[in-house]
Amino acid sequence: MEENVLFDPPAELSKNARIKSMDEYRALCKKAEDNYEGFWGDYAKEKITWKKPFDKVLDESKAPFYQWFVGGKLNVSEQCLDRHLETRKNKAAIIFEGELGDQKVLTYRELYYEVNKTANLLKNKFGIKKGDRVVIYLPMIPEAAVMMLACARIGAIHSIVFGGFSADALRDRVIDAQAKLVVTADGAYRRGKPYMLKPVVDEALTDECTSVEAVLIVQRNFEEIEYVSGRDYIYNELIKDQPVKCEAEVMDSEDPLFLLYTSGSTGKPKGVQHNSAGYILWAQMTMEWVFDVKENDTYWCTADVGWITGHTYIVYGPLAMGATTVMFEGVPVYPDPGRWWRMIEEYQVNQFYTAPTAIRLLHKVGNDEPAKYDLSSLKVLGTVGEPINPDAWLWYYNEIGGGKCPIVDTYWQTETGGHMITPLPGATPIKPASATFPLPGIIAEIMDEDGNPKPKNEKGLMCVTKPWPSMIRGIWGDPERFKESYFGTAKKNGQPVYFTGDGAIYDDDGYIVITGRTDDVINVSGHRMGTAEIEAAAGNHPHVAECAVVGKPDAIKGEGVFIYVVLKGEDNLAEEVDVMKEINQIIVKEIGPIAKADEIKFVPGLPKTRSGKIMRRILRAIAKGEEITQDISTLEDPSIVAKIQTCVLG
Ligand code: PRX
């Protein structure tokens, strides 16, 4: 029953919220619709500390390469640091807790100096200039944020690679971005034990990485590592002598701020490019609107800085608005599954933002753990990364939020830079598993490929029909792929519009429910992966003739990796167990442990159309144990379906 009920925002929260009611929300939406450029231009003037004001809000002449706040000059690190010094110099900017319980607080003043010193180091010691790419392969330690902001300060473009990626994956990203410097750590801690990062970098940096001039190493766990003389430098030593002030580079609104590689449905991961002004504006505005963080609040997002959520909602958004952001190195279940709840109590966290997969994991552990802690400081709960099931939503709402904290189910993507569709905590009546409505200024519509809106309860394409400031500016080095991937599917009034890759429906109340990807991208524990990448890795096993990867629903992870493998003709089935192990070893080597298969099934063939296209829909249905309802007569060999079913179901 509760699943269909609307939960109103608590009156007390609404009273003081930045957006206090649905009327206010609708008025803002109308303002944006009536005068789109005026709406965005006013916010850009109000929120950003410009070095030089912009001349034009939006330039659509090179669509879909849209340009925002044309002619404006700023520096994102100044937006996040310098301008807060007058009023917030002694306020905590970052509260860090390490896996082993070590704690560190950096005030805005301290963070400002750390960033300045690091910027000087990058510039003076390593010759990093505006436009150079710096790959950051760091654990969740404050130095990751310092490094990002130091790059921003000198105009270098950072590209963070998540620590769970393998040496091969790191190498691909280093080469694609032609990075000049790689920043890493000796290692970090996971589940209480040290693990190593630097050896992965050593393995990644082969002769192919001709662009890399140096490796900068942050000492985190002080484990013994090898140093390559003339290439490797220790951050902790070099930073000591750096001057504490570094002039911020004058950056154009449209100068790139960072690249972040993400998976698509085909080919290699793509380097999603975000630029300066539009990105930081929306990072800040969504922090303010969606989490409604107040001056003395403590905000905690549990994401990793290696993903977009960590970029926008651990570092850039919170710091741009002058908030206190908690950063945690570890996992939710170490040393026990009460870790996060203890931290909420200890730091008196007011806004807590995490992923459905973690919520499901902690839900499974039960109510005893959260019940041990005082969670009454919480005001707003957030979730992101994949659809959340009503069960997990209700547990989060009742057991963690005590039935008094709105849940903001924020729908967005690496490419969107910030939130797109989400409740507003003081305004939107919420319901389980709905991201509700687009934010003011975001023109998001569920439609068909020709731009016709979908009626209620009919699945359509989740599109954004007007450009927005924090949108992806390009795929690094591949403008054609950018156009094709995002603007090649749907049109409105004959003009290409942005398609997210997700399906969605308007429910009976007109609320938006995201139904998941419509392309060959899967979401495993909130990690976005292309099935094509996993297939390419598995296909490298010498016994594999061909394979197909699909996502199989998983109670905790959302989706698990399920691989159908066709072995080469003469190969002996007796070797299957070894082959399974080896396939996973190859996946771990080429991508990383996050892409490991949960299930591998050997089948005599794959269901293909006469033109050779693999019918993944059939494979998804078989993996789920569903009946095949679709017409299989068009398959090259319809009998293959029953044979595959026998292999999978036994
Ligand atoms: O499928 C959608 C899902 O995650 C995808 C974006 O993944 P990524 O770029 O890695 O960014 C994740 C963090 C923003 C989307 O295409 N997704 C994200 N948030 C939600 C979601 N699906 C349903 N509900 C959400 N709140």
Q: What are the tens digits of pLDDT across the range 380-392?
A: 999 999 999 999 9
Q: What are the tens digits of pLDDT across the range 604-645?
A: 999 999 988 899 999 999 999 998 888 898 899 999 999 999
435 in contact with ligand 1, CB cutoff 6 A: yes
- Which residue's CA lies nearest to atom 3 of ligand 1? 386
User: What is the Å distance from ligand 1's center to 309 Cα?
Assistant: 10
502 in contact with ligand 1, CB cutoff 6 A: yes
Q: Are 330 and 99 in contact (CB under 8 A)?
A: yes
Q: What are the tens digits of pLDDT across the range 443-459?
A: 999 999 999 999 999 99
Question: What confidence tier does 268 reach under pLDDT thresholds 50, 70, 90?
Answer: confident
Q: Are 589 and 601 in contact (CB under 8 A)?
A: no
Exposure string for 523-556, b = 16+ CB within 10 A, e = fewer = bbbbbbbbbbbbbbbbeebebbebbbbbbbebee
Q: Which pLDDT does position 575 carry in this prediction?
A: 67
- Which residue's CA lies nearest to atom 14 of ligand 1? 413
Return d(Cα 260, Cα 252) in angstroms, integer: 20
Q: Are 345 and 352 in contact (CB under 8 A)?
A: no
Return d(Cα 291, Cα 282) in angstroms, integer: 13
Question: What confidence tier does 377 reach under pLDDT thresholds 50, 70, 90?
Answer: very high
Angle between helices 616-624 and 640-649 (to 10 degrees): 30
> Domain 520-649 adopts which CATH fold?
GMP Synthetase; Chain A, domain 3 (3.30.300)
Q: Are 454 and 460 in contact (CB under 8 A)?
A: yes
Q: Are 380 and 424 in contact (CB under 8 A)?
A: no
Q: Which two tokens stand for residue 598?
A: 């949960």
Query: CA 375 → CA 52, 326, 614, distances in Å?
Result: 45, 16, 50
The tally of CA atoms less than 13 A away on the side-chain side of residue 393 is: 24
Q: Are 403 and 397 in contact (CB under 8 A)?
A: yes
Query: Could you count the other beta carbons within 10 Å of the beta carbon of residue 297?
Result: 17
505 in contact with ligand 1, CB cutoff 6 A: no
Q: Which pLDDT does position 572 carry in this prediction?
A: 56
Q: Measure the N-to-C terminal CA separation of the chain; round to a whole number of Å.
A: 38
Residue 84: alpha-carbon gap to chain centroid: 27
Q: Give 240's contacts (C-beta < 8 A, 6+ positions apart).
A: none
Q: What are the tens digits of pLDDT across the range 52-75?
A: 999 999 999 999 999 999 999 999
- Is 80 exceeded by the pLDDT of residue 2? no
Q: Which pLDDT does position 38 carry in this prediction?
A: 98
- Which residue's CA lies nearest to atom 15 of ligand 1? 413
SS3 string, 193-204, reads: EEEECHHHHHHH
Q: List the domain boundaries for the chain.
A: 520-649
User: What is the Å distance from ligand 1's center to 383 Cα?
Assistant: 10
Q: Which pLDDT does position 576 carry in this prediction?
A: 73
Q: Give 199's contacts (C-beta < 8 A, 6+ positions apart).
A: 225, 226
- Is 70 exceeded by the pLDDT of residue 336? yes
Q: Which pLDDT does position 571 carry in this prediction?
A: 58
Q: Which pLDDT does position 9 carry in this prediction?
A: 98
The type of residue at 4 is N
Average pLDDT of the residues in 108-135: 98
- Which residue's CA lies nearest to atom 23 of ligand 1? 387
User: What is the Å distance from ligand 1's center to 20 Cα?
Assistant: 26
Average pLDDT of the residues in 114-121: 98
Mutate which of 279, 502, 513, 524 for ligand 1 pocket (most atoms within 8 A of beta carbon) = 502
- Which residue's CA lies nearest to atom 6 of ligand 1? 413
461 in contact with ligand 1, CB cutoff 6 A: no
Return the CA Rg of the chain.
Answer: 24
387 in contact with ligand 1, CB cutoff 6 A: yes
517 in contact with ligand 1, CB cutoff 6 A: yes
Q: Which pLDDT does position 623 carry in this prediction?
A: 95
Q: What are the tens digits of pLDDT across the range 87-114?
A: 999 999 999 999 999 999 999 999 999 9
- Which residue's CA lies nearest to atom 7 of ligand 1? 413
DSSP assignment of 85-98: HHHHTTSEEEEEE-
Question: What confidence tier does 267 reach under pLDDT thresholds 50, 70, 90?
Answer: confident
Q: Which pLDDT does position 147 carry in this prediction?
A: 98
